[in-house]
Chain A
Amino acid sequence: MKYPLAIIILAPLIGAAILGLFGKRMSERVIGWIACSTVAVSSILAFYSFFNHASALEHGDKHYEYLFTWINVGSFRADASLVLDSLSAIYILFVTFVGFWIHVFATGYMRGDKGYWRFFAYMNLFMFSMLTLVLADNFLLMFVGWEGVGLCSYLLIGYYFQKDFANDAAKKAFIVNRIGDFGFALGVMLLFTKAGTIFFFDDPGRGVHGAFDWAMAQTTDPLALSAIFAGGITTIAVLLFVGAIGKSAQLPLYVWLPDAMAGPTPVSALIHAATMVTAGVYMVSRASSIYVHAPTAMFIVAIVGAATALFAATIGLAQWDIKKVLAYSTISQLGYMFLACGVGAFGAGIFHVFTHAFFKALLFLGSGSVIVGMHHEQDMRKMGGLKKYMPLTFATMLVGWLAISGVPLLSGFFSKDEILYRSFVAEGLPDSWAKILWFVGAITALVTAVYMTRLMVLTFWGERFTAPEPALEAHSTSGEHHAGPPHESPRSMVLPLIVLAAGAVFAGYLGVPEGLPGGALPNYFERLLKPSIASPHMKEAKEPVREHREPSVPEFSLMPEIVEPPANHSLELTLTGVSITIALAGIAIGWVWFNRKPLWEPPRLLEEKYYVDEVYDAAIVQPIKQGSINVLWKFIDVHVIDGAVNGAGHLASLLGTGLRYLQSGLARSYVAVLVFGALLLIAYFVIR
């Protein structure tokens, strides 16, 4: 197999092309097969590539695939080339795997929809973009993927284009993303200015230098506010993080994600839970060598992550739409990932991405199954007692619920606990911020457990809540008023749920932190990732340190001398105990609180999402809109530009009218003009 990475990327692209060009005439069955098989090809090749190079990747080897030189102008070079190292390997593994199962689910979910072919064409296009983003070996190609996923997100959110709110949501997503992209682009440009290259790693065979190799040779910036604007590494890091804020829906650019739930549920599962929104975390981890030299930026990342986590969790507590709850939950979990990156535990952050992909996709798909079963009803107030109607969905969602709440032995527990521990013991943060961040994370975990329990309770337990229908005769409240009772979903939709549930349970065992009693299991995840990401505990290296290695291994990897802090096992155990307590307490609180009738009404502030959208609308959107209408349109376009154009014509006509008076037909005036001209001529000669 000559170019496995290229095929991984191109298979979905081909699928998108076929479906886009010919899909209209195909049957649903054929479309579904094409879409899923291209992703399956990518997935199989991803596994193949991984296991082919597994041991090499652990050593920090990178496997390059150079396709062609895209831009080579002056000192700026960008190639279409792909790199497989441990970070991108992990990503393509779960992206293609989860993506495949979501595609399968979507074949059942979207059945009967007129734009079936369009949907799958966009989904495949998205897979192409996401894989390009992950496998790229320079910032420009990554940006291509970055923009591509944004585009597909827009296309898919606005899939039901006949609905206005879908179109608005799609536009909102794209525009808010764009704001982040602007920061990202600036960061890349600044990086190029300082490092002279936008490739990630050195590749002497091709004659390119790597930005990360440059970054490793820099001195660390101080932890100071001024560093942000100094135009050095910290500025680069902050600008890149702005892009991540947009793409991964952190404060203040998260507002697009809840509205993005207007798209079909598989879209929410794939793009807005498992893959696209984690692109920001990917990018920050990729650029870890830049971040570890910019402690101020890392501090900002940690604070933004923690604040977002808590903020979104509180809003999720008050939402009635099942998908919105999950959306805010995603934002909150993304906050955790950035918190991890901010305190230097990039590995823990990526681990959480990995486990989150499984259980969040599971939860979304499960909610999709519930929605279909309830004949497209999304309001939880109309649900209840579904566990006897949809047992399989219920069982799988149970797993997802426990995982996200952090119940021990499931995947979410391991990853979340790791993040909390690492933030507690983080060094390099000012004063007692480490403890504060841990505390915020712990509170968020509590709230997470509470609202997820609320979701489960309202949906699956209790009796059916139905809105009183005046047309129906008085029944008990558990009477149905839909066309038929809620039903379990077809096999195509349930099978992925089961697979993902298995993943949610077992994926966590790949990365059990060492301090836990299950320390017999090696922390494979951490070990795998170690060579690909920098750690803040490195010694200051002016020059990359060569470790002992065989000559077949490339010259440099991001593995200078790392001085790890001593692993405080007893502290870790204590904190783990605290996490378990929080998880169980949260579930208990949620159970008791939400099981009673009448339904608990959340405070207005939370239900209205802290009015953030309204504030943005008033502060930003309306002024821009008014400015555009009154200033740009009515004034500049109509008066200035049209005025200039019309004015030119007007001027010509005025000039003509004025000059017309010269042609009076009177000989005397002609003579006068003659004499005047003669005077001027004489004057010229006289003065000269």
Chain B
Amino acid sequence: MVPLSWYLALSALLFTIGAVGVFIKRNAITIFLCIELMLNAVNLTFVALSGFFGDVGGQLFVFIVMTVAAAEAAVGLAIIISIFRNRESLNVDEVDAMKL
């Protein structure tokens, strides 16, 4: 039987990779992908705990998270498209007009 800690370890690892990716990558869409990865890592944690403790709430939460992720992906990509129209570039480092 696979102990719980293995699932949690895998989840942490995926989350770390996603976090690192967010601030290494400069392409806006790639950053988004990494965010999705982080969300999935957290989903794994929820499902694992839900299975091990027999509580359906965990899986329900995952359900909601997926819905929210979809909505967020839609809006976020819309923003990225409008930024692209302005600057012709997807480089996040070029969008720094708000600096002091």
Contact = CB atoms under 8 A, between A and B. Distances in A.
B1 interface: no
A668 B93 CA distance: 8
A631 interface: no
Interface string B16-27: 000100110010
A450 to B, nearest CB: 89
A665 interface: yes
Contact of B99 (A666, A671, A675): A666
B15 to A, nearest CB: 10
Contacts of B96: 664-666
A664 B99 contact: yes
Contacts of A660: 100
B64 interface: no
B2 interface: no
Interface in B49-74: none
Among B23, B26, B93, B98, max chain A CB count under 10 A is at B23
B29 to A, nearest CB: 13
Contacts of B99: 663-666
Given A666-B92, A668-B93, A675 B23 contact: yes
Q: How large is the interface on B (under 10, 10 to 19, 20 to 34, 35 or more residues)?
A: 10 to 19
Contacts of B93: 666, 668
Interface residues of A, number: 11
A663 B95 contact: no
A676 to B, nearest CB: 10
Interface in A431-446: none
B92 A668 contact: yes
Interface in A504-528: none
Interface in B72-100: 92-93, 95-100
Nearest to B16: A675
Nearest to A678: B19
A619 interface: no
Interface in A638-685: 660, 663-669, 671-672, 675
Contact of B97 (A665, A668, A671): A665
A667 B24 CA distance: 11
A672 B100 contact: no
Contacts of A666: 92-93, 96, 99
A146 to B, nearest CB: 66
Nearest to A671: B23
Contacts of A675: 19, 22-23
Nearest to A679: B19
A538 to B, nearest CB: 88
A630 to B, nearest CB: 44
Contacts of B22: 668, 671, 675
A15 B97 CA distance: 81
B100 A663 contact: yes
A653 to B, nearest CB: 14
Interface in B1-43: 19, 22-23, 26, 31
A664 B19 CA distance: 20
A654 to B, nearest CB: 15
B6 to A, nearest CB: 19
Interface string A98-116: 0000000000000000000
Among B95, B97, B98, max chain A CB count under 10 A is at B98
B14 to A, nearest CB: 15
A660 B97 CA distance: 14
Nearest to A670: B23
A679 to B, nearest CB: 9
A277 to B, nearest CB: 73
A16 B95 CA distance: 83
A669 B96 CA distance: 11
Nearest to B28: A667
Contacts of A663: 98-100
A671 B31 CA distance: 11
A664 B92 CA distance: 12
A668 B26 contact: yes
Nearest to B96: A665
A105 to B, nearest CB: 82
A183 B28 CA distance: 83
Contacts of B95: 665, 667
Contact of B23 (A664, A665, A672): A672
Nearest to A660: B100
A347 to B, nearest CB: 88
A682 to B, nearest CB: 10
A667 B19 contact: no
A619 B99 CA distance: 63
Interface string A292-326: 00000000000000000000000000000000000
Contacts of A672: 23
Contacts of A664: 96, 99
Contacts of A665: 95-100
A668 B97 CA distance: 14
Contacts of B98: 663, 665
A666 B93 CA distance: 6
Nearest to B24: A668
A292 B23 CA distance: 91
B17 to A, nearest CB: 13
A671 B93 CA distance: 13
Contacts of B31: 667
A664 to B, nearest CB: 5
Contacts of A669: 23
A663 B96 CA distance: 10
Contacts of B100: 660, 663, 665
A672 B25 CA distance: 12
B5 to A, nearest CB: 15
Contacts of B92: 666-668
A668 B35 CA distance: 13
A548 to B, nearest CB: 99
Nearest to A662: B100
Nearest to A668: B23
A671 B22 CA distance: 7
A133 B31 CA distance: 91
A663 B31 CA distance: 20
A669 B92 CA distance: 11
6 contacts: A665-B95, A667-B95, A668-B23, A668-B93, A671-B22, A675-B23
Interface of B: 19, 22-23, 26, 31, 92-93, 95-100
A-B complex: 9 closest residue pairs judged by Cβ atoms: A665-B99, A665-B96, A663-B100, A665-B98, A671-B23, A668-B23, A660-B100, A672-B23, A664-B99
Given A665-B96, A667-B95, A668-B92, 12 more contacts: A663-B99, A663-B100, A665-B95, A665-B97, A665-B99, A666-B93, A666-B96, A666-B99, A667-B31, A669-B23, A672-B23, A675-B19
